[in-house]
Structure 1
Amino acid sequence: MPYNIAMVSDNFFPQPGGVESHMYQLASKLVDRGHKVIIVTHAYPGRTGIRYLTNGIKTYHVPFWTIYRETTFPTVFSFFPMFRNIVIRERIEIVHGHASLSNLCHEAILHARTMGLRTVFTDHSLFGFADAGSILTNKLLKFTLSDVDHCICVSHTCKENCVLRADLDPSMVSVIPNAVVADNFRPLSQNTTESRSPSAPGPPRPLGPSDDITIVVISRLFYNKGIDLLIAAIPRILANQPHVRFIVAGSGPKAIDFEQMVERNVLQDRVTLLGPVRHEQVRDVMVRGQIYLNPSLMEAFGTVIVEAASCGLYVVCTRVGGVPEVLPSHMTEFAAPEVDDLVAATNRAIEKIRSGKVRTDLFHNQVKQMYSWTDVAQRTERIYDEVSTNRSLALIDRLKRYYGCGVWAGKLFVMCAVVDFLLFIFLEIFAPRERIDICKDWPKKAFNKDSKEEERNNPKSDVISRKRSPRHRRRKGQETDGS
């Protein structure tokens, strides 16, 4: 059964990142399966209003003030009129929020429940329990998830963390990992136009002691990404390895510290700082190296290390969060989140690459078999099927859930829910639904499991389907009704 789905988060393109890529790829695959998907995010400089992405994905850039790391200022209720208008215009049935720190996500789930819509939340992060920021975030998450239909986490570690933070029933939390478009992250040897050698790809050639090895780092330059570890480790690695170079791409508040480290140690000829790179340029940067270094201090999944392995890079990463779940041991060299261990793990990886013990030429096909956005979309679709059968809760039942969130916080949450419901009644009276224009849907793709199986077994069926497509009819000069 096709659904009309709204994915809501502060984290979306043009800002690069794992959550942004996850939302787009999942939305695109859901559209391929016959669903309607829109994205609701905040406006960016030069990108406001409504935009259309590939595959007919409509994006609403709402004009709200952003504060920290492209997150909107929490307003709680001012987003409701605009959100209600979007939901009614697009005939939305399921609201799917992403990211624990997204204010738009939390507010959208609250308003969606007030309107009687089904809600799903995907958690992409890990948080602690002791510092003030984590305590406030966890309390906000408990408020939101106490009245959500289902929760999705990107790793088993993320699920354990989310269940503890929001005091959830583990049965209402599913684990659906991220994925990667493997064809977009092919090794250099598998692209004939870029290959250094015309011969077919084979086992990597052992490198001599004087051959250069390039280590690639692509990350946001923030503390939680382990940039302080990286700043301390790079001079020590380069001091022990005279034929090693670094390529570092990314931006953030730690960029100045990084530049100072390079100048202080006179490493301008061995450390290349690229600054921010667009997601479509990530592969071109990765294939310039043999090793990918990920020094993150906290990571729920780590999509970038899957992309690096798909590009044929040997991965050195810290054993934190859900990272050990992502790749098998023969693709990775693990280290504790400490400078000494990170340096030692990187040196071990360099020696393995020099000796040719690691078959990096096999990584791409292995990753392609392990991760697929089509599989992620299918599993998410099952969640939608499950929540669509849930009965709508009466206001009093929702208030009981909120009231159990804490001695003081519970009363505050109940007040927010009541005010939100009164605002909804006010909007229904003074801005009736009849006055809101209904948008015409983008032509949906007809998805049929039997036909898809037939296409896989019969390559000619793909040619037939293209000949019958609206695009083909337009090329022939015939009119289509767009349905």
Structure 2
Amino acid sequence: MDRKKHRIMMVSDFFYPNFGGVENHIYYLSQCLLKLGHKVVVVTHAYGNRSGVRYMTCGLKVYYVPWRPFVMQNSFPTLFPSLPIIRTILIRERITVVHGHQAFSTLCHEALMHSRTMGYRVVFTDHSLYGFSDAGSIHMNKVLQFTLADVSQAICVSHTSKENTVLRSGLPPEKVFVIPNVVDTAMFKPAVVQPSRSEIVIVVISRLVYRKGADLLVEVIPDVCRLHPNVRFIVGGDGPKRVWLEEMREKHSLQDRVEMLGAVPHTQVRSVLISGHIFLNSSLTEAFCIAILEAASCGLLTVSTRVGGVPEVLPDDMIILAEPDPGDMVLAIERAISMLPKVDPQVMHHWMRELYNWHDVAKRTEIVYDHALKCPNQNLLERVSRYLYCGVWAGKLFFLVMIVDFLFWRLLELWQPAEDIEEMPDLTLPHISNKETLQETK
């Protein structure tokens, strides 16, 4: 049976040339959807002098709209002024499904809002976990509640992430699918010659911030070095907590046993991973943790804190979980050291290649798009009335915002009818086998 071909617009503030889990997810998912015969365009903000339309591998079209990042790679929230350009892209590319990524992305929220105003089906993927008590999380959860009030379908990267998103947004659980993150195993292969086990090397690659458990590392590393003279640490990453680790290294005279690499480019992550035996993740909160998949694909045994969606990532023989407590983490590392003789990096890599692959994720995402298109059409009053349930005062404000957005859209329709916007012809490329390795274009 022929599959329905979708025309998808991926939207997020986070995309190449910036690097991160969300950026990689959008790129590889888009590449696989193209290979399945769908049309995909990406919309993000400008990065430096990268503005306008660019093409990437397999004809992936990227709109770098001329907005500059405001804070943490996010564009400045404009609310209504972004409607004209979003509308133009939707009409030019004849989009059928709009797919927004990351709750922290301003552009994602605005694009989903405008798309629903125009009657498009929208899908949202949440890549992170948020709390409920601090001021930042409270405000972000209210924004998410507004965005998802009229979303067609949603995707989370783990069951823990799904529970978190449902609680934060009030979205019906039956609208939320769970599709895990994936690593490109072709980029993360074990070393041909394994490092000697006469010296045990523990690798840490992470942003050195509180949320990633940098404070735990300050206490764990000296204790492990004291108990095991043949253990050495390699720490890759940068952040405000880096100075704490450097002070710890000086205080305990561990300069020759703790190597600080600073920020590690994504293209060099594998070379750092294959120099070690154990990968240590000390995060205090994680929706999924793609770094664990990269380490496991390189054949490293993982020690991680038991938080968020981490317990769902790997089987028990590939990961050792510990409570986010220094003492428990030290015990977990000792257990990992004793398990090293039984670890076969090639077997681990083969298992990762079979279980986690982007083509499987693309096919599962394709099903979500099919469900989104089957959602019944509703009139304006039925759709905007959903926003009244977002709170006593916030609900009325959200309702007013959507009414103004609808009136602005109708004004644009009068000023520049859709028929006056030139539709772009589809780029036709020769068929590419699904077995070919994806090549990243930066």
The two structures share one fold, judged by TM-score above 0.5 = yes
Change (3 A) 1:374 1:411: same
Q: Is the 8 A contact 1:31 1:444 kept in 2?
A: no
For 2:177, what is the secondary structure of its paired residue? strand
Q: Does 1:76 pair with 2:79?
A: yes
Aligned to 1:358: 343
Report the equivalent of 1:367.
352
1 CA distance for matches of 2:108 and 2:62? 15
Distance change in 2, residues 1:127/1:362 (3 Å): same
In 2, Cα distance between the equivalents of 1:62 and 1:222?
31
The answer for the alignment partner of 1:139 in structure 2 is 142
- For 1:261 and 1:47, the matched residues in 2 are separated by 41
Tell me the SS of whatever aligns to 1:183: coil
Letter of the aligned partner of 2:376 in structure 1? R
Select the residue among 93, 96, 109 that pairs with 1:93.
96
Is 1:408 the counterpart of 2:393? The answer is yes
Deviation at 1:444, TM superposition (A): 4.9
Say if 2:190 and 2:345, in contact at 8 Å, map to a contact too.
no
Secondary structure of the residue aligned to 2:133 is: coil
Q: Is the 8 A contact 1:72 1:104 kept in 2?
A: yes
**Cα deviation, residue 236, structure 1:** 2.2
The one of 109, 113, 118 aligned to 1:110: 113
Cα distance in 1, alignment partners of residues 135 and 264 from structure 2: 33
Partner of 2:440: none
C-alpha deviation, 1:445, in angstroms? 5.7
Residue number among 221, 229, 243 corresponding to 2:230 in the alignment: 243
CA deviation vs aligned residue, 1:272-316 (integer Å, no higher than 9, x gap): 222222323221211111110011111111111011111000000
1:285 correspondence with 2:288: no
- Partners of 1:162 and 1:64 lie apart in 2 by 28
**Cα distance per residue 1:371-413 (max 9 Å; x no partner):** 1111110011011112112233211011210111110010010
Give the secondary structure class of the aligned counterpart of 1:39.
strand
Correspondence 1:127 to 2:130: yes
Following superposition, the deviation at residue 46 of structure 1 comes to 3.6
1:255 to 2:239 alignment: no
**Whole-angstrom distance in 1 between the partners of 2:388 and 2:423:** 37
Counterpart Cα distance in 1 of 2:374 and 2:32: 23
The DSSP-based 3-state class of the residue aligned with 1:248 is: strand
* One-letter amino acid of the counterpart of residue 311, structure 1: C
Give the equivalent residue in structure 2 for 1:436: 421
Q: Which runs of 5+ in 1 are unaligned?
A: 190-194, 197-203, 457-461, 463-483
Aligned match of 1:56:
59
After superposition, give the CA deviation of every residue in 1:295-340 in whole Å (9 maximum; x if it has no partner): 1111111111011111000000010011000000000111101122
* Separation in 1, partners of 2:413, 2:119: 13
Cα separation, 1, equivalents of 2:208 and 2:376: 45
CA 1:307–1:31 in 2, change beyond 3 Å: closer, same or farther? same
CA distance in 2, matches of 1:423, 1:41: 22
Amino acid at match of 1:382: I
For 1:200, the equivalent position in structure 2 comes to: none
Alpha-carbon offset, residue 231 of structure 1: 2.4
Give 1:320's aligned residue.
307
* Counterpart in the other structure of 1:301: 288
When Rg is computed on C-alpha atoms for both structures, the one with the higher figure is 1
What SS does the corresponding residue of 2:89 show, helix, strand or coil? helix
Paired residue for 1:330? 317
Instruction: Write the letter of the residue equivalent to 2:397.
Output: L
Distance 1:261 1:86, change over 3 A: farther
CA contact (8 A) 2:58 2:429 kept: no
Is 1:224 the equivalent of 2:201?
A: no
Does the CA-based 8 Å contact 1:4-1:92 persist in structure 2? Answer: yes
Alignment CA distance shift 1:342-1:24 (3 Å):
same
| Structure 1 residues 48 and 385: CA distance shift in structure 2, 3 A | same
In structure 1, what residue type is equivalent to 2:326?
V
Secondary structure at the counterpart of residue 188 of structure 1: coil
Name the amino acid aligned to 1:317.
S
Equivalent-residue separation in structure 2 for 1:222 and 1:17 (angstroms): 15
Instruction: Report the TM-score when normalising by structure 2.
Output: 0.93
What's the counterpart of residue 470 of structure 1? Answer: none
Aligned to 1:471: none
Judging changes above 3 Å, is the alpha-carbon distance between structure 1 residues 388 and 335 closer, same or farther for their aligned structure 2 residues? same
Q: What is the rounded CA distance, in whole Å, between the counterparts of 1:247 and 1:49 in structure 2?
A: 40
Whole-angstrom distance in 2 between the partners of 1:296 and 1:46: 35
CA contact (8 A) 2:47 2:68 kept: no
| 1:425 corresponds to | 410
Count of residues paired in the alignment = 433
User: What fraction of aligned residue pairs are identical, expressed as a percent?
Assistant: 52
CA displacement 1:181-205 (0-9 Å, x = unmatched): 222211113xxxxx36xxxxxxx98
**Range with bigger deviation, 240-249 or 164-173:** 240-249
Does structure 2 conserve the Cα–Cα contact (< 8 Å) formed by 1:139 and 1:166?
yes
Separation in 2, partners of 1:238, 1:46: 46
Deviation at 1:127, TM superposition (A): 1.3
Give 1:366's aligned amino acid: W
Which of the residues 207, 213, 221 maps onto 2:200? 213
Secondary structure at the counterpart of residue 7 of structure 1: strand
Q: Which sections of structure 2, spanning at least 5 residues, go unmatched?
A: 437-442
- The letter of the residue matching 1:364 is H
Q: Secondary structure at the match of 1:411?
A: helix
Q: TM-score, normalised by structure 1?
A: 0.85
Measured in 1, the distance between the counterparts of 2:366 and 2:187 equals: 24
Per-residue deviation, residues 435-464 of structure 1 (Å, max 9, x unmatched)? 4332232215659xxxx8xx99xxxxx9xx
Q: Compute the displacement of 1:433 (Å).
A: 2.7
Root-mean-square deviation (CA, aligned residues, Å) is 2.0
- Comparing 386-395 with 5-14, greater Cα deviation is found at 386-395
Structure 1 runs (4+) deviating above 6 angstroms are none
Q: Sort the Cα spacing of 1:48 and 1:271 in 2 relative to 1 into closer, same or farther, 3 A.
A: farther
